[in-house]
């Protein structure tokens, strides 16, 4: 996956391809690992090219997944991709605020439902409006909503948790994160020995939820408050380019399997490093939940 982490942001359209928009977002997020065009460098011997510890996602597994792209960028969607997102309503995409800070609606395009970025699959939509949480200051309240010019119909959106609840965030339970970000582990101070690998196909990985107290120890320079939920373990994590994508829990509702989106990829101290879980904007937080529901009703 690709952008995440500001020393520590995990995405802000961190791949150079999202051009000036992404560059601005990265600057706001802080010092992000140096961005490199996806796939510009081969994976070193012995490195598994998945989300970081994950597997390729099957076609159509996540129809609500969004690639946030530079509208007028060159090349395929693989070249234009900068951040992830999720379709939460026919007209609404949820992403990280650091992905769009400094951007204008006309700079961006979203592709909904694609699995392989370089393909022509998925539905493309222009952005009419974008709004970040009014209290955003990375990484806290790192959430933004994009209003689309035309709806995307016939897609089952992930469910969102209730305001002020944490029933789906019990430490030790398993969540899933998906994205097109860097797949090579990045330890703080020695980011992948300079190696990066950005996949064309969407990646998925299961990660354990981590308590905020443990997460604070692993991320000493970041205020881990109740606007954040943490997840990850050695060799399994989101990374640069995954920012804005969903952290999810699977559940059974009325006899069918559904996804609840509990977080939005935001940042971390490296990627998949031992003792440094990633942190995600927490959708169950009352103020973040209220902000999102201003749009969804």
| Residues labelled as active-site residues | 98, 142, 243
What span, in angstroms and rounded, lies between the C-alpha atoms of 286 and 297? 15
**Is residue 169 classed exposed, middle or buried when 0-12, 13-18 and 19+ CB atoms within 10 A define those classes?**
buried
242: nearest Cα among 12, 6, 7, 8: 12
Distance CA 58, CA 6 (A): 30
Residues contacting residue 163 through CB under 8 Å, at least 6 positions apart: 284, 286, 289, 290, 293
Dihedral sign, CA of 195, 5, 63, 57?
Answer: positive
| H helix or E strand, kind and range, residue 217 | helix 212-218
Report which of 155, 102, 176 is spatially closest to residue 132, judged by C-alpha positions: 102
C-alpha dihedral (111, 67, 60, 263), degrees to nearest 10 = -130
């Amino acid at each position: 996956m690709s952008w995440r982490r500001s020393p520590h942001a995990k995405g802000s359209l961190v791949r150079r391809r999202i051009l000036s928009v992404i560059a601005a977002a990265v600057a706001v997020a802080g010092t992000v690992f140096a961005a490199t065009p996806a796939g510009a460098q081969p994976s070193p011997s012995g490195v598994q090219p998945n989300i970081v510890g994950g597997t390729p996602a099957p076609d159509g597994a996540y129809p609500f997944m969004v690639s946030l792209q530079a509208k007028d960028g060159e090349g395929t969607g693989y070249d234009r991709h900068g951040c992830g997102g999720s379709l939460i309503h026919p007209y609404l995409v949820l992403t990280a605020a650091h992905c769009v800070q400094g951007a204008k609606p006309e700079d961006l395009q979203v592709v909904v439902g694609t699995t392989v970025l370089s393909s022509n699959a998925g539905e493309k939509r222009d952005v009419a409006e974008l709004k970040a949480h009014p209290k955003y200051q990375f990484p806290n309240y790192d959430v933004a909503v994009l209003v689309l010019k035309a709806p995307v119909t016939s897609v089952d959106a992930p469910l969102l948790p209730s305001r002020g609840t944490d029933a789906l965030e019990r430490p030790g339970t398993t969540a899933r994160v998906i994205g097109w970000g860097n797949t090579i582990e990045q330890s703080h101070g020695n980011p992948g020995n300079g190696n990066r690998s950005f996949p064309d196909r969407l990646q998925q990985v299961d990660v354990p939820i981590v308590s905020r107290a443990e997460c604070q120890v692993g991320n000493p320079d970041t205020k881990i408050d109740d606007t954040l939920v943490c997840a990850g373990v050695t060799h399994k994590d989101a990374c640069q380019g995954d920012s804005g994508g969903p952290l999810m829990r699977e559940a059974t509702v009325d006899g069918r399997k559904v996804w609840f989106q509990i977080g939005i990829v935001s940042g971390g101290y490296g990627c998949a490093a031992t003792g440094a879980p990633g942190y995600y904007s927490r959708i169950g937080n009352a103020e973040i939940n209220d902000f999102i529901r201003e749009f969804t009703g």
